[in-house]
Amino acid sequence: MTQTVAHESNESEEAFAERARTFLRAHAAPRAAEERFVWGKGSDAPTMFEKLDRAAELRALAEAKEWRATKFDAGFAWIMGPPALGGAGLDRRYQDIWDRLEATYDVPSGSYFGIGLGMVAPTILAHAREEVAADLLPKLQRADLVACQLFSEPGAGSDLASLQMRAERDGDEWVLNGQKVWTSGAHYSDIGEVIARSDPDKPKHRGLTGFIVDMHAPGVDVRPLRQMTGGSNFNEVFFTDVRVPDRWRLGDVNDGWRVALTTLMNERASIGGGGVGGGGSGMVRLIEMARHFGVADDRLVRQELARVHIEDQVRHWTSARAMASLSAGRTPGPELSIGKLGLIRTIQATCDLVAHILGPRMVVDTGEWGTFNWSGYVLGAPAMRIAGGSDETLRNIVGERVLGLPKEPGIDTTSPYRDLKVGTQAR
């Protein structure tokens, strides 16, 4: 691995920007100016999850890894990272400068690294042994390694603490057995963060332990899951006597719930930053759809267009406030669930609007531009209502941990109505 170029942490914003421009001019081509959106021209495939065959996906991943490594070696991949681990040691202002400048150049997508860098890496930094973090984090940031998140199981999704995958201690190793499901990117990942049940006799939240696992280890079996969109962005992963060294444990034994919460809070921050969809044009595309089909003056359609815009703006401002809090050094908290819920409201408003305008055109492929391909977006929306915590779970988190409302009665809590007889009324 090439050593990252070090720079003074007191570098001025102007000097940093000029250095970034020089690097980008030398390594990438400027992005062509975005043409004004015109209905009927360009791509009409605003899918929620892009459908790529595995060969094309691997080619795109290789290009993304090469670009990430080039950035890392020049000091632009981990701008806010600690210098001791290969980061540039700069603050959010410099990251924002880089993001704005990089967006003006035609470079590979970094979406393959979103889970590893946005969710797994912060958890490693917070909970892994110092020597393990020093080894793995620079490799993740340089894209020498790609990481996935292995949490959900067939019987444990929103109620993650009900997971049943076992981790049994064997000397200086742990032996993992069980199944995980809905794992994005598992088929091209090198390592994964996994939570397993290490003590079945403890209450469910207290008998879990977190680990980093080698996705190429013997006994790890990754199988693609076909979605109703037609793609296979997710996987199920089976573990059969998979051995993990104890030094790759995250946090203390049986304290895996704390580890999981670190990941989940970062996950909701990452997901909540999404947008309306429908391509870079967003609202313009939706407005032009209404005009094309002659309903732009329909009062209900105009109301639904306004709803999409309002939901997206509120989500954007909420996420910006949360990101500012993180930039100030605060730990991600339950309030980040609001950003993810805001994204879902925006997506649902978009689906409602598109279904209203297109009607049967969205479910019957007549070849008409801008119609049937919206079905991929609508069919992908339910997955987003589950990813990062279901809507119901996140509402409970916001109600209980942000607003301070009483805990939702459940199988693990005492209901205030437990003594209420059938046919009686509460007084």
In DSSP terms, 179 is beta-bridged to 238
Reduced to 3 states (helix: H, G, I; strand: E, B; else coil), residue 243 is strand
* Domains in the chain with CATH codes: 18-29+43-142 (1.10.540.10), 147-255 (2.40.110.10), 272-402 (1.20.140.10)
**Winning range, highest mean pLDDT, from 46-55, 190-199, 267-276, 322-331:** 190-199
Q: What is the pLDDT of residue 177?
A: 98
Q: What is the pLDDT of residue 383?
A: 83
pLDDT tens sequence across 197-210: 999 999 888 999 99
- What's the count of helices (H) and strands (E) in the chain, helices before strands? 12, 10
Q: Do strands 234-245 and 249-250 pair parallel, antiparallel, or not at all (unpaired)? A: unpaired
Residues with Cβ < 8 Å from 334, sequence gap 6 or more?
Answer: 265, 397, 398, 401, 402
Q: What is the pLDDT of residue 214?
A: 98
Question: What single-letter DSSP state applies at residue 401?
Answer: I
What is the average pLDDT score of the chain?
86
Tell me the whole-structure pTM to 2 decimals.
0.81
Among 267, 304, 311, 335, which one carries the catalytic annotation?
267
102 is catalytic: no
Distance CA 38, CA 277 (A): 17
pLDDT tens sequence across 382-423: 888 877 778 888 888 888 888 888 987 765 554 433 333 333
pLDDT at 4 over 60: no
